Amino acid sequence: MAKAGANPSGEVEQITVLLVDDIAETRESIRKLLSFEPDFKVIGSVGTGKEGVEAAKQLKPSIIIMDINMPDMDGIQATSLINQAVPTAAVIIMSVQNDQDYLRRAMLAGARNFLSKPVMPDELYNTIRTVYKQHQTYRETFTQIKEGGAVEQKKAVAAMTGVEDRPGHIIVVYSPQGGVGSTTIATNLASGLMKEGVRVLLVDSDVQFGDVGVYLNLPAQTSMLDLVDTVSDLDIDLFDKIVVSHESGLKVLLGPTRPEMADPIVQNPAVISQIIQKIANNYDFIVVDTARHLDDIVLSLFEIAAKIVLVSLPTLASVKNTKYVLDLFDQLGFDASRNMLVLNRVPTDKNSQKFMVSTERIEKFLKLPVTLSIPTDDVTVLQSMSKGVPIVAQRDRSKSPVREFMQLADQLHATLMPESVDQSADKDKPEEKKSRLPLNLRFGKA
Ligand SMILES: Nc1ncnc2c1ncn2[C@@H]1O[C@H](COP(=O)(O)OP(=O)(O)O)[C@@H](O)[C@H]1O
Ligand SMILES: [Mg+2]
């Protein structure tokens, strides 16, 4: 009986397997085990990681059983190279090491599953058959586009993941001062941009004291730290395992959980922009919350931004700091048309307003129009934070400051995607709550 299905002529559809292990006896014993079942066919057997990559390219097996510890190149690196060069092949890592860190690294390198040594026959058979099935769509898609160029490949991947080639507009929210409302605005902007069919990613680039996870009440199991080492091999499959889902459907890439863990990113400050650029075309909008320091992390994000939302308070100190930032942008030769100015925590009572700088004066001083003034509303803001639900998720969107947050989202949507802006018929309709998406994590609970 054919285990992997039979083709129309009744022959058994064989799963082609490549074995990569530096110990010849191990390869031999697996080859023997596989020979007992009619649906497996070992088409190659090599002893090093490098040979494994070469054999994978030449033989194009469906499954590769890969040892971790090997001389010239270890199994994790080989997996990563194979994942790039031969996407039709699915790698199963085989190792005596059972520790989470290894498994996690192997998974990040693109391994589909694991076997621990010594391998039991049934486990071997089941794992291969399961992975073969799981990898079917990949295999078929990439086989079809074998001769196709990069464009076809991109299209095929998009079709496979169910995502079209999206524009990936990057919106960076920044304030040179803390406590001004960057995180509040970034979170609400991201939520406000979410509509039917619009995919939004929120990134917390405040790698030491990021608050996005707390504001949205998200579990902090995975973060951008998990992507730092693999950024050159990053694809959406891997990214989806690391990104966290808010119950509204919003995707969030969190920063490190503790300040002292931020070092790998501080040492490699462009890595967040590199990650974003790699996955940008899977999203319509990517909203990035930032820390207040003008460091290389923030600067590299400014470089890739389509819009930079500068948040300021209507106070002298805050406006002065914003002026310095705009001057710096000038010196760096940034295109000024990307800048947007948002005033936050604007007092609503006449008495306090007297002590604030007027919008007209701010606009004149900064030579930048105020896109939006968001009133102070401690009750709404605090309520939303304590519930972990964005302000814009509130039903009554005609009330301040919900209205202003929605206006900001609508305005950015209209500016960046003018062709897709609808007739605003359902503008005030409350967003339907989508069901909580499960975290698709197999090894994320370290
Ligand atoms: N429009 C607003 N009205 C009232 N409180 C606000 C408003 N915007 C932000 N806050 C509050 O100000 C504090 C700082 O906001 P946050 O978004 O964390 O600023 P930042 O990220 O710039 O440090 C938070 O306690 C937040 O609830
Ligand atoms: Mg913040």
Q: Tell me where in the chain the CATH 3.40.50.2300 domain(s) lie.
A: 15-142
Q: Is the predicted pLDDT of residue 100 greater than 70, yes or no?
A: no
- Return the ligand 1 atom nearest residue 211 CA: 18
Between CA 323 and CA 262 the distance in angstroms is: 29
pLDDT digits (tens, 9 = 90+) for 180-194: 999 999 999 999 998
Alpha-carbon torsion (281, 338, 210, 228), positive or negative? positive
- Comparing 58-72, 153-167, 262-276, 315-329, which segment has the lowest mean pLDDT? 153-167
- Return the ligand 1 atom nearest residue 401 CA: 1
For residue 113, the model assigns a pLDDT of 86
Is the distance from the beta carbon of residue 374 to the nearest atom of ligand 1 less than 6 Å? yes
Contact 44, 19 (CB under 8 A): yes
Cα(337) to centroid of ligand 1, in Å?
26
For residue 144, the model assigns a pLDDT of 59
Between 29 and 418, the more confident residue is 29
- Return the ligand 1 atom nearest residue 179 CA: 23
Q: Is the predicted pLDDT of residue 322 greater than 60, yes or no?
A: yes
* Domain with residues 15-142, CATH architecture: 3-Layer(aba) Sandwich (3.40)
Q: Residue 145: pLDDT band by 50, 70, 90 thresholds? A: low
Q: Is the predicted pLDDT of residue 160 greater than 60, yes or no?
A: no
pLDDT digits (tens, 9 = 90+) for 54-72: 999 999 999 999 998 888 8
C-alpha atoms less than 13 angstroms from C-alpha of 76 in its C-beta half-sphere: 14
Q: Tell me where in the chain the CATH 3.40.50.300 domain(s) lie.
A: 169-420
Q: Is the predicted pLDDT of residue 105 greater than 70, yes or no?
A: yes
Cα(253) to centroid of ligand 2, in Å?
15
Contact 373, 354 (CB under 8 A): no
Cis before residue 118, ω within 30 degrees of 0? yes
Between 313 and 69, the more confident residue is 313
For residue 247, the model assigns a pLDDT of 80
Phi then psi dihedrals of residue 371, to 5 deg: -70, -35
**Interval 102-126 mean pLDDT:** 84
Residue with token string 């054919």: 2
Cα(264) to centroid of ligand 2, in Å?
20
Is the distance from the beta carbon of residue 390 to the nearest atom of ligand 1 less than 6 Å? no
Q: Is the predicted pLDDT of residue 441 greater than 70, yes or no?
A: no
pTM of the model: 0.63
Q: Is the predicted pLDDT of residue 430 greater than 50, yes or no?
A: no
Between CA 63 and CA 42 the distance in angstroms is: 9
Is the distance from the beta carbon of residue 401 to the nearest atom of ligand 1 less than 6 Å? yes
Q: Look at ligand 1, atom 5, and give the residue with the nearest C-alpha.
A: 378
Between 53 and 158, the more confident residue is 53
Phi then psi dihedrals of residue 307, to 5 deg: -140, 140
- Comparing 5-9, 12-16, 171-175, which segment has the lowest mean pLDDT? 5-9
- Comparing 165-179, 214-228, 265-279, which segment has the lowest mean pLDDT? 214-228
For residue 136, the model assigns a pLDDT of 80
For residue 446, the model assigns a pLDDT of 25
**Interval 158-164 mean pLDDT:** 55
Q: Residue 211: pLDDT band by 50, 70, 90 thresholds? A: very high
Q: What one-character DSSP code corresponds to residue 406?
A: H
Q: Is the predicted pLDDT of residue 44 greater than 90, yes or no?
A: yes
Domain 169-420 class in CATH: alpha beta
Is the distance from the beta carbon of residue 179 to the nearest atom of ligand 1 less than 6 Å? yes
Q: Residue 1: pLDDT band by 50, 70, 90 thresholds? A: very low
Ligand number nearest CA of 187 is 1
Cα(390) to centroid of ligand 2, in Å?
15
Q: Is the predicted pLDDT of residue 423 greater than 80, yes or no?
A: no
In 135-181, which ranges are continuous DSSP H helix? 136-144, 150-161
Is the distance from the beta carbon of residue 178 to the nearest atom of ligand 1 less than 6 Å? yes
**Percent of the chain whose predicted confidence (pLDDT) is above 90:** 56
Q: Is the predicted pLDDT of residue 438 greater than 50, yes or no?
A: no
Residue with token string 């129309």: 8
Is the distance from the beta carbon of residue 314 to the nearest atom of ligand 1 less than 6 Å? no
Contact 295, 269 (CB under 8 A): yes
- Return the ligand 1 atom nearest residue 175 CA: 22
Q: Look at ligand 1, atom 9, and give the residue with the nearest C-alpha.
A: 181
- Pocket test of ligand 1: the residue of 216, 381, 385 to mutate, having most ligand atoms within 8 Å of its CB, is 381
Ligand number nearest CA of 205 is 2
Closest C-alpha among 102, 95, 104, 96 to residue 65: 95
Closest C-alpha among 158, 111, 138 to residue 280: 158
Contact 256, 207 (CB under 8 A): yes
Chain mean pLDDT for the chain: 84
**Interval 145-155 mean pLDDT:** 54
Is the distance from the beta carbon of residue 181 to the nearest atom of ligand 1 less than 6 Å? yes
